[in-house]
Amino acid sequence: MGLYKCIIIWYKLIMATIRKTKVGKHTYWQIVESKRVNGKPRPVVLAHLGTADQLLYKLTGGEFKKKVRSYSHGACSVLWKIVKDMDLIELFDKTFSGQKREGVSVGKCLILGGLHRIMQPGSKREFASFAKQTTLPRLASFEAEKLDSQFFWDQMDTVTEKQIEKAEYELTKKLIEKKLLSPKLLFYDMTNFFTYIATDNGNATIAKRGKNKQKRNDLRQFGLSQVVTREFLIPVFTKVYEGNMGDGKRFIPFLTDFRKKLTELSFDMEELTLVFDKGSNTKKNFNELDNMELPYVASVTTSYHEDLLSIPTSSYSEVVVNGKKILCYRTKKEIWGKERTVVIYISEQLRDGQIRGFEHAKKKKLEELAELKEKLTSPRAKKRNLEDLEREVASILKGEKVETVVKCLIRETSSGRFDLEWHEDAQVYKKLVSEVFGKKILITCRNEWTEEEIISAYFGQNNVEHVFRQLKNPYHNAICPQYHWTDQKIKVHTFMCVIGMLLTQLLQKMAREAGFSYSSDKIIEMLSEVREAVIITLTDLKGKPSKQVQLEEMDEDVNKLYTTLMVNNL
């Protein structure tokens, strides 16, 4: 009888097969045998083997770790904490009315896009692969693979310019409520960003050709004007505009919108001072500032005020600004139809930079003169017209004040043939270095302010320039690359980048107040080193594998930064 049973079991095993079946996200293995049930062949389960890992566990007879995987966690967790501290999801969901897709609202989509720009700028197509390497999907509750480029485009399609303005208004209000924004000193500047929009694309009317600050004059571009706070460079007001519009022409439209927003926010205009650079200087713009009674501190071009530059240094007095001794001179002068307070100060750092710029430009121009001389003196040189040659020489020397130092003589050697000779005027160069280079001329309507206060206010202009440098940083916060071909998409994309910039500056504020002096780039890079490890282990063959989540070991400095920022609040 025992032999008979063994034969039966052996027969059954020969006839049995292994089959896999999927239940939810999990795949299980079974031993099945084909039998006739009610006259029809049906697979009958002889034994459940469990998952492949559980089967391996049985065969090896011991504990088996299914997998260990780690994700970039630190930057995501701290930035998401800031998002929650600022109630950004709730604020944006009230503003952007589009429908949820894949469980993600339009407002949340824009925030996720901003976080992408902070940590790893890339196209919307790259978002899913970026997110899968981080804990962002878990923290923000979304499935990374479902947020493809089409998802972002569909959500961005629902956003209007009025909604962006409303969101910016509510965001500024939130910053004021949390005492993160002081309107007393605000800084204004403009820049532009090149695009790859085709010449014949008529859907992007703001993308125009103009003087590009990244030397890409061959491409269409759009402009961005922005106001930021002195403290922590927090963006307050931004506007996208046509790429062919000069700084001076854009100033009044921006100023009008800016004043309207401040009035709606109940800002005390008498308390506010707007600081800006000479790029926006025109008589019309300053007349508008006077009419609006908007206080300002601005720089003016030195070349239009030779009388101020000629004031001897012996007439200057020494002041201390931000711990540094600075020579300055204060006076009043009628500029653009009104007497204004003027402060001239000397910056040795500026002087050194201008000297280096002059020497570099001079070297290049002298090389061009040498090339022209060689052409003119060649035996095969064509006959030239003196007036045309004079214009060509003047064009070569023009710029960086080289034409004031390098004196070029055109000598006619025979009919229609010329030679060049030049020399450098040492006296003019000496005067240029001592009386022009290093000097900055500021004007203001803040007549009651001291020289120290006026110069200190202007020093903060570097703040907004720093923000624009960040928006062109290819590693963090970059607006480019941007692959959008309509005005609406460009504006929404830029808004996402500005949100990223805002979160970055709030992150740096938290770090500075906690005693860390790292740059925003360094903070993001250090936090990105904090990784979360997920360890799945088989401990019970009949149950589910156990899951353990823990942070990987990290450097002491990184650990201190991360733990401090996670417990501190804005």
pLDDT digits (tens, 9 = 90+) for 55-113: 766 666 655 556 788 999 999 999 999 999 999 999 999 999 878 888 899 999 999 99
Q: What is the DSSP letter of 100?
A: P
| Residue 464: pLDDT band with limits 50, 70, 90 | confident
b/e per residue 55-93 (b: at least 16 CB within 10 A): bebeeeeeebebeeeebbbbbbbbbbbbbeebebeebbb
pLDDT at res. 65 = 57
- pLDDT, tens only, 335-354: 988 999 999 999 999 999 99
Answer yes or no: are the C-beta atoms of 538 and 54 closer than 8 Å.
Answer: yes
**198-226 pLDDT tens trace:** 888 888 889 888 888 888 888 899 988 88
User: Per the confidence metrics, is the pTM higher than 0.95?
Assistant: no
Mean pLDDT within 537-566 = 82
SS3 content of the chain, % helix, strand, coil (to 5): 45, 25, 30
Tell me the pLDDT band of 10, cut-offs 50, 70 and 90: very low
Helix (H, G, I), strand (E, B) or coil at 120: coil
Q: Give the residue, 29 or 521, on which the prediction is more confident.
A: 521
Query: Residue 7 — very low, low, confident or very high, per pLDDT cuts 50/70/90?
Result: very low
Rounded mean pLDDT, 454-459: 92
Q: Are 204 and 483 in contact (CB under 8 A)?
A: no
Mean pLDDT computed over 510-537? 92
CA dihedral for 241, 243, 245, 248, sign (positive or negative): positive
Q: Please, which residues bridge with residue 441 across strands?
A: 300, 344
What SS3 state is found at 538? strand
Q: Given a cut of 50, is residue 6 above it in pLDDT?
A: no
Q: How confident is the model at residue 1 (pLDDT cuts 50, 70, 90)?
A: very low
**Where is average pLDDT lowest: 57-71, 428-442, 464-478?**
57-71
Mean pLDDT, all residues of the chain: 87
- pLDDT digit string, tens, across residues 355-393: 999 999 999 999 999 999 999 999 888 899 999 999 999
The pLDDT of 512-529, averaged and rounded, is 94
Beta-carbon-side half-sphere exposure of residue 338 (alpha carbons within 13 Å): 15
- Residue 33, classed as helix, strand or coil, is strand
Q: pLDDT, tens digit, for every residue of 144-194?
A: 999 999 999 999 999 999 999 999 999 988 988 888 877 678 888 888 888
The pLDDT, as a whole number, for residue 36 is 78
Give pLDDT, residue 27. 85
Task: Supply the DSSP string of 348-405, one letter for each residue.
Answer: HHHHHHHHHHHHHHHHHHHHHHHHHHHHHHSTTPPP--HHHHHHHHHHHH-STTHHHH
pLDDT score of 234 more than 90: no
Q: What is the dihedral of CA 202, 203, 204, 209, to 10 degrees?
A: -10
> pLDDT-derived band of residue 541, with 50, 70 and 90 as boundaries?
low
Residue 561 CA to residue 75 CA, distance in Å, equals: 11
> Above pLDDT 70, what percent of the chain?
94
Average pLDDT value for residue range 265-273? 79
- Spatial neighbors of 185 by CB under 8 A, at least 6 apart, are 229, 230, 272, 273, 275, 457, 460
pLDDT band at 116 (very low <50, low <70, confident <90, very high): very high
Let me know how long the chain is.
570
pLDDT digits (tens, 9 = 90+) for 282-333: 888 898 888 888 899 999 988 889 899 989 888 999 999 988 999 999 999 9
User: What pLDDT shows up at residue 462?
Assistant: 74
64 vs 469 pLDDT, higher one: 469
Which stretch of 61-65, 88-92, 437-441, 495-499 has the lowest confidence by average pLDDT? Answer: 61-65
